Amino acid sequence: MKLIVGLGNPGSKYINTRHNIGFDVVLRFADKIGGSAPTKKQYGALVGSHTVGGEKVLYALPQTFMNLSGQPIASLMGYYKCSEKDVIVVHDELALDFSTVRCKQSGGHGGHNGLRDTIKHIGNSFLRVRMGVGSPKGDQARYVLSRFNSLEQSSMDDFVNCGVEAIEHILSSGIVSAMNTFNVRTQ
């Protein structure tokens, strides 16, 4: 079983913000594969599932706000008996230019509080799909909670679809192949 987690903040106030790109990608992934929408409330997350290539795939949107994402992920892992290497976390990444998608295996939090809390609860060996949202000129907290500007909005479909492709590549070919494919790609 694989557990795919989109990081973000619950509530309509945060829809279409940079910090919620993880939610956007996981929702698009669920829609694309024809799985159940992540609407089942379980362990502090909205959860859906589907079978992909003969393997059950669970996807989740923690509802505890970004900075407390780790506990719902840990609880789902415990219930479904997933290891860290079965977890793919999709998140916003300030260190990458807007619309850049990169895959990563393990690592630190890089100042990202959602990753910091996830690492605190499950360790750092999980897989990541890093969605570049650009670097702020000022306050990072305000920046990640801001909405994408009109120029960025015009390329959001391609950006989100690229994140979905990264998840699919990890599932079908593994993280090393995904890193070799997405980490050299120019957007």
In a domain, 61, yes or no: yes
Q: Does residue 187 belong to any structural domain of this protein?
A: no
pLDDT in tens, 64-98: 999 999 999 999 999 999 999 999 999 999 999 99
Tens of pLDDT, residues 7-66: 999 999 999 999 999 999 999 999 999 988 899 999 999 999 999 888 999 999 999 999
Mean pLDDT of 168-187: 88
Which residues form the catalytic set? 19
Structural domain includes residue 104? yes
pTM of structure: 0.95
**Residue among 166, 161, 168, 171 at smallest CA distance from 182:** 166
Nearest Cα to Cα of residue 26 among 58, 72, 59: 59
| CATH number of the CATH domain containing 139 | 3.40.50.1470
pLDDT mean across residues, the chain: 94
**Domain assignment of residue 177, yes or no:** yes
Count: domains in the chain: 1
Domain of residue 79, residue span: 2-182
